Each structure stands twice: as C-alpha cells, then as structure tokens.
Chain A
Amino acid sequence: MALFKNQLKLMRAAAISVSVLVALVTGMMIYSASSNLIPASSFFSSYALILPILVGVIATLMCGDMGTRDFYYPAGLIVLAQPVKRWVAFMARFSASAILAIVPLTILFVSAAVGSNYFYGATMPGMLASFAVAVLYMLSFIAFIAFISIVAGEGAALTTGILISVMAVLFLLVLEHFYGIEPWFFLPYAGMSIGAVTSTPYPTHFVPNGIFPYTPYLSEAIEIMVGYTALSLASAIWFYSRREVL
C-alpha cells in the first residue's frame, strides 16, 4: 500500500502535464478540422484511426520509467532493501500507474466529446464503448512498456513505446496490405478496435484489397490485449524479482 501511494505521488505531476497536453492536442485537432470545413463524419473516422496512437503515447509518457524507477534511481538502494517481496512492489507500482494513466485517457475522450460538440454540434458515436476498449488497450500497453523498461531500461521503453505507437499504422500497412498477414501478434492491431467500435455496424473482419484488409473481431482484440497484459506482467515480474542493483 505504501508503494502504491508513493507511485501515485511520483506520477501526479506527469498525469497533470500529459492531461493538459492531451486536451490541447485534441482541441487543436478538432478546431483545425472544423476550420477547414472537414465534415464531422470524416473527422470522426480519422480520429478513430489515430486514437490507438494517442493511447499508446499516453501510456508511454506516463509509464515509460515505471519498471526501472527502483533500479536506476539511487532511492532504489533503500527501497529494494526493504522487507517487501519484489512482485508485491512491482504490482503496487503497476496498479498505481495504470489507475493514474486513466486520468489523461479520460481527458482525451472528454475533450474530444466536448470539442466535437462545440465545433460540430455532435459527438463521435460509440464513445463509451471506445473508452472501455481504450482502457484495456492502455493496460496492456503499460504492461508491455513496463516489461521492456525492466529488461532494456527506461530509454528503450520510451523509444519502443513511441515507435510502436507512432509507426503502428506503417507496420500494419506493411503486414496487412503488402504481406497479407493478419497481425494478431501485434498489440496495435488489437488497438484498432478502439476506433472500430465507433462504426455502426462493426467493420467486416476481412475486406480484400482494402488499405487495411483486416480489422480484429472485438473478441479477438480483447483476447490479444488480455494475452499481452498477462504475458508482459508475468515476464516483467520475473525480471523485476531477479534483477540486481549494480
């Protein structure tokens, strides 16, 4: 519990600054789209496409150093020498990070709803479902980033998180469009469901000759995200428990 509270305190400033950043970026996007007379439906479909990128960036900015905080900061020399099992310490930090990361994620959706209502007089359909999927996606992303940070360090985690988030569209394009592979093994593929749930009806799983021929079934996306979360957490705990403070 002490570590949980401590993690909340350590991340408070990051949560506030990322929330402000997210609100500004979302507001500017909506303002720019409406000023350029882009129709609401076109804006919503584009926004749905970039939502997983934004969620990935939020998760990375908030939690890129979560797994390494105790190993690279000199405070770890005291914190890790306390009579607390390492897996308990890791889970306390992880759960606090995940809970606090929901703040900027909520701001992302609320600012999109408020902004689109103000400029377009309408909100994106299926936002609640989209938010629910985004929460699960962020959880799996944070677990994955935590694992990378413990194994390869904070810098590698930040780079990997940003790279995966920003370049996801390109990776998906190459895998799906050029190689015809359904990238069920790639987390951002599951993230496509954040935008997909805003479409009525839910997009067809496979559309030959489409730019992105595959869209994950919602159940498939959930399975991928849960799988990533479970595997990343198990691996992260294993490494966190065995890692030495050199």
Chain B
Amino acid sequence: MTDTTPLMVLAVFLASAVRYSMPLLVGTLGETVTERSGHLNLGVEGMMLMGGAAGFVTAIRTDSLVLSLLAAMGGAIAGALFYAVLTVTFRANQVVTGLALTLFGAGVANTVGKGAVHASTPPHIQAFFAWQPLRPDLSAIESVPVLGPAAVFLRTVLLEYNIYVYMAVLLAVVLSLLLHRTRLGLHLRVVGENPASADASGIRVAATRYGAILVGGALCGLAGLYLPLVHNGTWVENITGGRGWIVVALVIFVRWSPLRAMLGALLFGALEIIGFKLQGFPQLAGNPLFSQYIIGMYPYIITVIVLVANSARKKGGWRGPGALGLPYFREER
C-alpha cells in the first residue's frame, strides 16, 4: 500500500527527515543552552553516547521507560559534570576538555553498552514510541478529490509522529521563551555575553554556567537515547556515528536559536537521507556533487559558509555569545 504519487513521496520524505532530525534537534537544543552560557562543549558526541548507553542498558534491564530516560540524562550529566568542573572551576581549556570528553564518553559508553549489543528495545517501550498520538482517522474524507489527498499529505507531514517528536518541538518553543522572555534566560544570556557584567550585576556566574552545562548535557543524553531506544531499536558501538559533531555545527548554523534549531535540524536530517532519494535518479549517477560522500559533507560545508557569513556581519551585529569559549576570571589584583 505504498503511495507513489509525487506528493506522497514528498510527504514521506519530509516525515522521515523529521524523524532523522530528532537526535540532532534535541542535541542542538542542549548545546545551545550550554553555549549560551559562554561554554563551548565539544563533547556532545561523548555525552550522547554516554546518555544513549546508560538509557538503553537501563531500558533492557529494568523494562522501565522512566528509569531509562533518567539514566540517559544521568549518564550524560556525569560527562557534562566532568566538563563543568574542569572548565568552570579549574578554567581548563574548553576545546581540549571537550575533545577529551568525546573520547572518554565513547569509551565509557562502548564499555557500558557491551552487554546490550543486539538486544532489542523492550516491546512495550517500542509500542509506546510507535504510538502516534495526534494521528487523525481520515477514512471518511480520504476518497474526496483534492481535499482527501491534501489531508493525507498534511497528516503524513505533521501528525504521524511519536511522542518524542512532539516533545522535542515543544521543548524548542519552551527554551526559546525561556531564553528571551524570562529572568532566568536573561541571566543566562548575560553570563554568556559578558560574565564580568553578570558578576557586577550580582548574577552567580559559575552557578549559572554549571546549570547550563548540566542541562545541556541532560538534553544531549536524551538525544543520544533516541537512536538506540526509539530509532534503531538496538545498541551498537558508536551508534551516534558523528551526529554529535553535526550538532556542534548545527548550533552555529542556527545561530544559537532554539526556534531556528528546528529548521536547521530538519535540513541536516534531510541531508542525511537525501542521498538515497537521489540514487533513484540514474541520470545523477557519477555526478560528484550528488555522491553520498559529498552529501555527507554538506552539513559541514553549510556550517563553514554560515561561519564565514557570520564573521563578515557588520559591526554591532550579533555573532554569538560574546564570551563563548573564554574562561572567566574575576579581576584580581
């Protein structure tokens, strides 16, 4: 019952792009929170793996979704805490620490996940994530010309997702409001822009940064859990396959905005699968622009372009958190 009209092909493609974008979106939201506080945590890949391994192993051992989610956040927070202690308290170099966290996280995750390789997501959790809570029954109008296909198209693109997808979208909106409309968000942004200013204003710089890094880590953990628990239904070593690095690029690409993160993640998610769509066009075969290898580079190419465009921005324009990557020393004499 596969519908191969061009419209439905497009709908199905968009819907799978959304599904593939999920770990990118949630990871990007997490890293955005972290970077907004002025800390560049390159350990996203490591935290995603730690969260994914901890959450998946917990799921198959305890059969509990709640415990699995908590374990995923906890595992990644452990990694984030390492990073926070080193970079906030001891002011270690953020890039080096982040890279170390990537290696460390992968090592820990692959060790923890050893026993879970090829195990499957417990059936009731599988069922929970197969549930499409918003999917309406359109059998009444499906055969109506124009209206029917349009409704099915919209349902496929918008309403046939599991609860993880809707929660991620909600999270993006909530984070955006939190960042721009609340006192907490203002404090976070001030800390990220100019910690000296925050300090002088009575904002607790270190505490805010710890909070942002740990929350960012928790979200990365949930992003990492999506792959084994929801998407692939099993654990293997290095299951993230470099998506943590795509997240780091994405945060820059969406210029630290949770709302734009949805579009950015969707684009990068689509890039992940568009190669298979393009292989269906034999006339493109051999064209290097569409080779799977090159398509795999597109997220990074796009990010480099955005980086260059960002730094060419006119003076006064916002180029990202002002103190990103810089340790904060209260002026001491």
Q: Do A and B bind each other?
A: no
